Copies of this chain bind each other. A is one copy, B any other.
Amino acid sequence: MSEDGFRVAVVGATGAVGNMMVRVLEERNFPVKSLKLLASARSAGKTLSFRGEEVPVQELTEDSFRDVDIALFSAGASVSRKFAPLAASQGCVVVDNSSAFRMDPDVPLVVPEVNPQALRNHKKIIANPNCSTIQMVVALKPLQDAVGIKRIVVTTFQSVSGTGKKAIFELEQQVRGWVEGKAVPPSVYPHPIAFNCLPHIGSFLENGFSEEEMKMVNETRKIFEDPDIQVCATTVRVPVFYGHSESVNVELKGLLTVEEVRRLLEKAPGVVLVDNPDRAEYPLPLNAEGRDETFVGRIRKDPSVENGIVMWIVADNIRKGAATNAVQIAELLVKEGLLSG
């Protein structure tokens, strides 16, 4: 690390995640020497506040990374595919929140609480996993370490912020329209999202699963470095602004009692156990909003299968599911001396 910190760029700075990356860099006091905010030409000229200063947003170009040590990308897969290798070739380390490089065997896919070791051999591009995967592996890591996981069945309740600012606006407008008695037709989603549940996140593949569902399968295997782990996901968009919730049934390779699972989770990094259902205490997306931890509760023995455990996992998808995880990766790079300022 240089004396004054690092020259940092945020690509897609005006998006929901990009915005949050800037906030989280400030909150966590990341050693920023200079901050460059990049976005499409359309957003150039806007400003974002960072440490009390208004930082102008610049247009992303091929020359944007010449004076940048580390860039956090959240501008979609096509932008990442074009600009991340370019940035890397100019010596800039990229933490990419898109799906572009996640399954590339040369690219570490990292959740700092789960597989920090994967960072070591990075080749300048590091992928941030999908939001719904991150919170699930944070919660399941202690179980995988303790006895191993055979199979995961997961159903998600995903908030509209995962789609981006336009989707947040769409839910807002549909709710306002409902109050005023006028229908606001969908444009971001194929159906109204207010007062509805859409089992549709990403495009559908040949096998009937959606892209989001297959991300949960493939990314979980890569992060756990366990190609044999079985995962079946159903991903659903719900009328919630922030916070993804997950209903997870795990089949373990050995026995863990509910009490043992609770004890493992209590000391797991990044996890907060909220599990007093008798007092109506369990993880809720409204309570997770603005938090960086992954909340786990409703832990039960699944009596329908050997070594089964059921749980309910909630996290702020824009923070731990995206921005915070990316900044944590940057912090880990600094800590491990894997970033040159």
Contact = CB atoms under 8 A, between A and B. Distances in A.
Interface of A: 151-153, 155, 157, 175-176, 178-179, 190-192, 195-200, 204, 207-210, 230-232, 234, 236, 238-241, 245, 247, 249, 258, 277-278, 280, 282-286, 297-305, 308, 310, 312
A299 B208 CA distance: 7
B240 A196 contact: yes
A305 to B, nearest CB: 6
Given A232-B304, A300-B208, A238 B157 contact: yes
Nearest to A189: B280
Q: Report, nearest first, the 9 A-B pairs whose CB atoms are least far apart.
A: A230-B304, A208-B300, A190-B280, A155-B247, A155-B155, A232-B304, A204-B277, A234-B247, A196-B286
A133 to B, nearest CB: 15
Count of this chain's copies in the oligomeric assembly: 2
- Interface SS, A side: mixed
Given A153-B153, A232-B249, A232-B308, A197 B302 contact: no
Contacts of A241: 195
A310 to B, nearest CB: 6
A197 B284 contact: yes
A312 to B, nearest CB: 5
A258 B208 contact: yes
Contacts of A299: 208
